């Protein structure tokens, strides 16, 4: 069989893991760098990667396009903070061609919001319609404590710019015992008034940080039970392709999501894989098994080799993650930081 014919056949074959799950969602970290140092995500003194190890924008476009050829319909750009990557808008503009062709349903990103004032209009023009913004509190002092370097006013300006540009906004808040566990009522009101969705997330045991996660872990079952004493939470079938399960807050009309990697496993319907900024493919956020796509990208211009490497990786996708908050060893379940894998 001629190589070009074999490559054509491979490109059209959907990616299906050993458990029959179709891989239709790719999350791509474009940088490990960030202008914040959130306490649950990074150590205060992070050692960032040398630029030679990070995929170029052209390499990122190539590997994303290969996944789209294999049936990925949703592409999320993450970091670190993706909008601190130099010339990042060029990558969004390039990937937007797959939206125009109909090969891709959605191009979106997760951001801390610090650069949205600058990029919101450009993102919309590139085809982005929906974004996730990480924001754990609306209190200035608490925001500074959690992010260690961020300014809440800057993020709020970015949210305003995103809304005015036509971007749909979902706020992601990590629930931290003793830090922001009293902030959720205000955030529900804030999001309801602006038409933003709000999703609460259990802290995930990835990477060594500067404190003990067991002290901060807050089960969302407890958060939900507490919220139900003040709000009417109605189950709804809304899904976005991710792991969140949503309710509607009757008093505001807004949607409230819960992501529970520890207290309620959501792996059965997992349709996603993650690519780091170094070209490392993780088939599961909570496992260490990985595939090196950077070497394939840089050693060969033949996409058949890239597709073969992707195929071999997907065949190793596990059934579920092994997340656990380990109160005995105090060690993270996975050594790498969330900022390395992609938020």
DSSP 286: T
Say how far apart CA 318 and CA 298 lie, in whole Å: 27
Residues at the binding site for S-adenosyl-L-methionine are: 40, 80, 134, 204
121: three-class secondary structure by DSSP: helix
- Tell me what pLDDT residue 102 has: 98
Contact 26, 60 (CB under 8 A): no
- Tell me what pLDDT residue 209 has: 46
The CA-atom distances, in angstroms, between 102 and each of 2, 28, 65, 98, 259 are 28, 20, 13, 6, 30
CA angle 104, 118, 63 (to 5 degrees): 30
In order of their start, the domains of the chain are: 3-341 (3.20.20.70)
- The per-residue pLDDT for range 192-226, each reduced to its tens digit, is 999 999 999 998 765 454 555 567 789 999 999 99
- Tell me what pLDDT residue 1 has: 42
- Considering Cα of 270, then 201, then 112, then 133, what sign does the dihedral take? positive
- 285, β-bridge pairs: none
Residues at the binding site for [4Fe-4S] cluster are: 34, 38, 41, 267, 270, 284
285: three-class secondary structure by DSSP: coil
The CA-atom distances, in angstroms, between 340 and each of 26, 48, 107, 223, 332 are 15, 9, 21, 28, 14
Helices assigned H by DSSP within the chain: 3-11, 57-69, 88-101, 116-126, 140-147, 152-165, 184-194, 220-227, 294-299, 303-314, 338-341
- Tell me what pLDDT residue 12 has: 75
Q: What are the residue ranges in the chain where pLDDT is below 70?
A: 1-11, 205-214, 241, 262-266, 320-343
Residues at the binding site are: 27, 34, 38, 40-41, 76, 80, 110, 134, 170, 204, 267, 270, 272-274, 284
Residues at the binding site for GTP are: 27, 76, 110, 170, 272-274
- Tell me what pLDDT residue 157 has: 98
- Tell me what pLDDT residue 44 has: 80
- Tell me what pLDDT residue 20 has: 94
- Tell me what pLDDT residue 332 has: 46
Q: 209: which residues sit within 8 A by CB, 6+ positions away?
A: 39, 40, 41, 42, 43, 337
Q: 201: which 2 tokens? A: 């997330």
């Amino acid at each position: 069989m001629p190589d070009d014919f074999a490559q054509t056949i491979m490109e059209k074959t959907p990616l299906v893991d050993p458990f029959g799950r179709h891989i239709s969602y790719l999350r791509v970290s474009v940088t490990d760098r960030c202008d914040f140092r959130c306490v649950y995500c990074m150590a205060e003194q992070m050692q960032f990667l040398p630029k030679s190890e990070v995929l170029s924008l052209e390499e990122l476009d190539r590997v994303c396009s290969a996944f789209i050829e294999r049936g990925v319909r949703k592409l999320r750009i993450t970091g670190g903070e993706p909008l601190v990557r130099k010339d990042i808008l060029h990558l969004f503009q390039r990937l937007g061609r797959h939206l125009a062709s109909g090969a891709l349903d959605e191009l979106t990103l997760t951001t801390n919001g610090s650069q949205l004032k600058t990029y919101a209009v450009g993102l919309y023009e590139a085809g982005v319609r929906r974004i996730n913004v990480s924001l754990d509190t609306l209190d200035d002092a608490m925001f500074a404590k959690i992010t260690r370097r961020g300014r809440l006013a800057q993020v709020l300006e970015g949210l305003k710019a995103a809304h005015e540009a036509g971007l749909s906004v979902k706020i992601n808040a990590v629930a931290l015992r003793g830090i922001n566990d009293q902030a959720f009522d205000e955030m529900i009101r804030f999001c309801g008034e602006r038409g933003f969705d709000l999703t609460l997330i259990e802290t995930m045991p990835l990477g060594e940080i500067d404190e003990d996660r067991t002290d901060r872990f807050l089960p969302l079952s407890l958060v939900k039970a507490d919220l139900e004493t003040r709000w009417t939470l109605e189950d709804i079938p809304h899904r976005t392709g991710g792991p969140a399960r949503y309710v509607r807050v009757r008093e505001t009309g807004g949607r409230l999501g819960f992501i529970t990697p520890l207290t309620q496993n959501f792996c059965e319907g997992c349709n996603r894989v993650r690519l780091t900024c170094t070209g490392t493919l993780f088939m599961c956020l909570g496992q260490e098994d990985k595939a090196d796509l950077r070497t394939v990208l840089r050693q060969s211009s033949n996409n058949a080799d890239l597709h073969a490497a992707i195929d071999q990786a997907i065949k190793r996708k596990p059934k579920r993650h092994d997340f656990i908050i380990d109160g005995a060893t105090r060690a993270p379940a996975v050594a790498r930081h969330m900022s390395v894998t992609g938020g």
